[in-house]
Amino acid sequence: MSPNNKATLFLVATPIGNLNEVSPRCLDVLRSVDVIACEDTRNSAKLLSHFDIHTKTITYHNFNERQSSKGILSLLEKGESVALISDAGYPLISDPGYLLVNEVIDADFDIVTISGPNAALNALVASGLETSHYLFYGFLNAKSSQAEKQLKELKDFPYTLIFYEAPHRIEKTLQLALEVLGDRKACLARELTKLHEQFHRGKLSELCELHDLKGEMVLLIEGCKEEKAPDQDELLEKVKALVDDGQRAKDAIKQIAEAHHVSKNELYEAYLKKKEEDDGSF
């Protein structure tokens, strides 16, 4: 039960590798709820057996999500609390659960998150890349053409990019990232919290030289460092604002050109053209 004594859906993060990272609170919840909804009951059985937990389990995954959500709601309506777990890490993070959470919210039952390990954050803080701002993307599309389109959409983001990737696709993904994003700093983290945990840091071109990698992968790539060329119309508006404040056009153009590292002559020509097009009212 939640602090409000209502039937509750618990979103429980489970270990991503090292079972010693499980929290006492996690174990308490898994023992006390009426039902545990698992992404794969066979995988979850290993965790539950290790900690001698015998709570009833049901299956909740991408292929039965809508039907299972209705079943879980009926359990909550009967006053039974449910814990949702994925195979590893947080439910909903590149795993099923989004539909269920929204239906539980609509039905006005409580939702409680039980904190735990997260592969993306584990990898980020040890990557050596910028941590102040980052974008977790999850898995790229399995089709190369779609993955290329997604990377192109992310190309100008200035934040560290975080992806999950399967071992059989990692070499193609690294090569595609190099082609689309350029040779940026990157980090490939694999087998996090496990015995053979590794961090490969370097440029994307260097990571492309890695082969026969196994285990779960987190790929982190430096955000875009290139400043986008300023829009000419925006620069002309800045010039106009200075002119309206009393500066001579030539002085205003020189000031804006120097501030934005653009050609003074090109900006002056654009200014004259704009002024002519607007019948001198610009």
Per-residue pLDDT at 101? 97
Q: What angle do CA 261, 264, 268 make, to 5 degrees?
A: 135
Per-residue pLDDT at 231? 82
Evaluate whether the domain defined by 120-221 bears CATH number 3.30.950.10.
yes
Per-residue pLDDT at 274? 84
The region of weakest confidence among 104-113, 179-188, 196-205, 235-244 is 235-244
Indicate the pLDDT class of residue 2, thresholds 50, 70 and 90: low
Task: Judge residue 256's burial from the number of C-beta atoms within 10 Å of its C-beta, 0-12 exposed, 13-18 middle, 19 or more buried.
Answer: buried
User: How many CA atoms lie less than 13 Å away from 14 in the CB half-sphere?
Assistant: 26
Per-residue pLDDT at 229? 65
Per-residue pLDDT at 227? 66
Per-residue pLDDT at 186? 98
Per-residue pLDDT at 281? 64
Percent over 70 (pLDDT), the chain? 96
pLDDT tens for 117-149 read 999 999 999 999 999 999 999 999 999 999 999
Report whether pLDDT(35) > 80: yes
Report whether pLDDT(3) > 60: no
Report whether pLDDT(280) > 80: no
Report whether pLDDT(5) > 80: no
CA 255 → CA 187, 233, 243, 249, distances in Å?
A: 41, 16, 11, 10
Task: Mention the CATH class of domain 8-117.
Answer: alpha beta
Report whether pLDDT(18) > 80: yes
Q: Are 116 and 23 in contact (CB under 8 A)?
A: yes
Looking at residue 27, what DSSP letter applies? H
Indicate the pLDDT class of residue 94, thresholds 50, 70 and 90: very high
pLDDT tens for 211-249 read 999 999 999 999 998 766 678 888 889 998 998 888 998
Q: For residue 267, give both structure tokens.
A: 């900006």
Distance between CA 279 and CA 35 in Å, rounded? Answer: 75
Distance between CA 26 and CA 7 in Å, rounded? Answer: 17
Report whether pLDDT(164) > 80: yes
Tell me phi and psi for residue 227, to 5 degrees: -80, 130
Distance between CA 147 and CA 175 in Å, rounded? Answer: 12
- For the segment 11-17, the average pLDDT, to the nearest whole number, is 97
The predicted model scores a pTM of 0.78
Report whether pLDDT(151) > 60: yes
Report whether pLDDT(1) > 70: no
Per-residue pLDDT at 165? 97
Strands 35-38 and 56-59, by their bridges, are parallel
Report whether pLDDT(22) > 90: yes
